[in-house]
A and B are shown apart, each in its own frame.
Chain A
């Protein structure tokens, strides 16, 4: 037996999963970290031992039993259909994978902790939403398809598991849209578009979580023993209009169906991974209350929403921002003008110093 905890992390083939597994391996209280995924990770896993296994079949139970895993961190909830190889595969990985994983955990007596990375997408987005969702609120409209429905089903299975294995500490982290220079997700690919389509007449409120904060909160939830469901998001909100202005990106306002249509065209063309359920989010937005994250979970994100977004935006070249440049030029001219002594003329009749000088030759020219 190794000293410390044995942690199984799913979904390590993707960048965030890999980095989380690596950072967890460096924790003193953690003895071993086992990374599981269907494909090997692209980057360096460090001290993490990688097991190539599909969480969709019962092999995962053997891995848990053999390695005597006591903590399972489920990160393999995929939001991007393109990276999974289509929506069908994505749904299967998300829903069937979670079912199998939880079934394996239920059988394994060694498992004592379960941490699930969920998302605030479960709250949906509609015009009947409260301004800030707390953890005990339900979505006003149950999701009917896509990622939101996957996550709703996953959370249902996790609740079922928590009921059946009441001795296991279960922590669900509902994270706001994770953003950062290295993140590729539907929302980051949306903001990476050179011209950002927006829904005309709507200005959604957005909350972001920095990628470093995501790793930190997962580490915190793995190491600290706090059960429950928590919203995790950076402080404050940004309006979409404000966000694109900060990015200095050009926007084009379109009616909602056109934005959806454009999104599916972009997705088919593999330009951007723009999922249809994002349309509701980009129309109505969403805010989550993070009081419990601070008070109960005891986690404090390092980045506010605005700071996380600024960090993401640093890597993007601006495509707009002409208005700001014009204003900056005017300001500069004014400062220069103020530095020069101005003719102290009354407000009413101002003989412009420059005007007559140029007016004369002009008159001569025209004869």
Chain B
């Protein structure tokens, strides 16, 4: 082989991504002395002056061969220093965390945060108590009620009347009309009663609720149980405030044209449960829930296929897709009526169908009457 010309590739072991004529700016920065950056304008100026430094001048002419020449001589050995390997130090995290905590919880952040942490730890270690129906008071109060409260207060602007008709303690049966395609009225009644009296309403739900995934979990945690005589009586005996919607799916799934017309009140099972346990029946009339999802149609074949009582069509659903799931912001009125006493009946009265039907009708009539009264008083659906 002859004299092969060696063409240097890269920077010949010098750091930085230089052009070969000139070390890169990063490389120069690493060099000692931290000279001012020789930018293009600076270079022009330096041409006129006598340059004190040799290395900067040489590349500045721009016509020199690849020759590295002066570069190695003044450059001190390049050393790199290990930066903090852990990224942001723990103390920073802690400080940021404390700052955030102070922002969120205010000045009393420390006990507040300690409480929150204790709560979270209780949850993740399962160290909490549920009652025999699966009611989880802690999660109901902290999450369900907190989530529903703004909806009740801001969206539906619920006005509650006659709350004094709910006994402060002991068993009672709240019987309400049912409407709105989706049982939002039950949830709103729960949060309204809790906020006004501090008591939890224990709703009785259809078996469909306990068959549906997720819904069954939420229902039990929220305090619901199956609508059957055994559970109703058990809860009432236990001194709970129990809520029933005797119209069931006939009530919530009725067409918009039938709004505020009470449907059949089942077999009156709720009345016999109340008579057996001797608790008062508190009639509740809900105005406003009918308008949240005006049900104008139904797809019975699809409902049969899915095993649902109905598949609703509203003016906005399924037309607008998920947006159609937003309930209309109607103004709600909840009126608790005069309690119907059942403790004066004797023990056998619950097995007297005629008496049970009479009491059922009495409750139904009182709800229907107060519905009409409330509708007369209401200025408009949304105000």
Contact = CB atoms under 8 A, between A and B. Distances in A.
Nearest to B118: A331
A130 B132 contact: no
B117 A330 contact: yes
A361 B78 CA distance: 18
A334 B117 CA distance: 10
Contacts of A239: 130, 134, 136, 220
Contact of A130 (B26, B83, B216, B228): B228
Contacts of B89: 354, 358
Contacts of A201: 212-217
Interface string B200-236: 0000000110111111110011000110101100100
B84 A358 contact: yes
B92 A355 contact: yes
Interface in B133-173: 133-134, 136
Interface residues of A, number: 52
A323 B126 CA distance: 12
Given A131-B132, A352-B92, A365 B83 contact: yes
Interface residues of B, number: 57
Given A203-B221, A367-B26, A327 B117 contact: yes
Contact of A347 (B103, B124, B221): B103
A245 interface: yes
A132 B110 contact: no
A109 interface: no
B232 to A, nearest CB: 9
8 contacts: A128-B228, A131-B225, A200-B213, A200-B214, A202-B217, A239-B130, A242-B128, A245-B124
A250 interface: no
A324 to B, nearest CB: 5
B207 A243 contact: no
Contact of B99 (A134, A200, A328, A352): A352
Most interface-central of A127, A131, A327, A361 (chain B CB within 10 A): A131
A334 B118 CA distance: 12
A236 B133 CA distance: 10
Given A130-B234, A237-B134, A242-B128, 7 more contacts: A200-B214, A202-B216, A238-B130, A241-B126, A246-B127, A334-B114, A352-B92
Contacts of A257: none
B132 A237 contact: yes
A342 B99 CA distance: 11
**Top 8 closest pairs, chain A to chain B, by CB:** A201-B213, A245-B126, A201-B214, A130-B230, A246-B126, A127-B210, A242-B126, A127-B211
B98 A337 contact: yes
A244 B125 CA distance: 9
Interface string A185-228: 00000000000000111110100000000000000000000000
Interface in B94-142: 94-96, 98-99, 102-103, 106-107, 110, 113-114, 117, 120-121, 123-134, 136
Contact of B210 (A132, A243, A284, A358): A284
A269 interface: no
B94 A331 contact: no
Contacts of B365: none
A338 interface: yes
B29 interface: yes
A360 interface: no
A211 B83 CA distance: 59
A331 B101 CA distance: 13
B110 A331 contact: no
B211 A333 contact: no
Contacts of B121: 324, 327-328, 331
Contacts of B207: 127-128
A365 B84 CA distance: 11
Contacts of B221: 203
A275 B223 CA distance: 30
A277 interface: no
A44 interface: no
B120 A337 contact: no
A324 B226 contact: no
B170 to A, nearest CB: 20
B41 interface: no
B91 interface: yes
B133 A131 contact: yes
A131 B231 contact: yes
Contact of A324 (B84, B106, B124, B210): B124
Contacts of A203: 134, 216-217, 220-221
B95 A354 contact: yes
A307 interface: no
Contacts of B129: 236
A127 B123 CA distance: 26
Interface in A12-46: none
Contacts of B228: 128, 130
A127 B231 contact: no
B216 A205 contact: no
Interface string A338-367: 100010000100101111001001100101
B220 A347 contact: no
B354 to A, nearest CB: 27
Contacts of B134: 131, 203, 205, 237, 239, 285
Nearest to A137: B230
Contacts of A135: none
A347 B213 contact: no
Contacts of B88: 358
A129 interface: yes
A287 interface: yes
Interface string A275-291: 00000000011010100
Nearest to B29: A367
Most interface-central of A243, A284, A350 (chain B CB within 10 A): A350
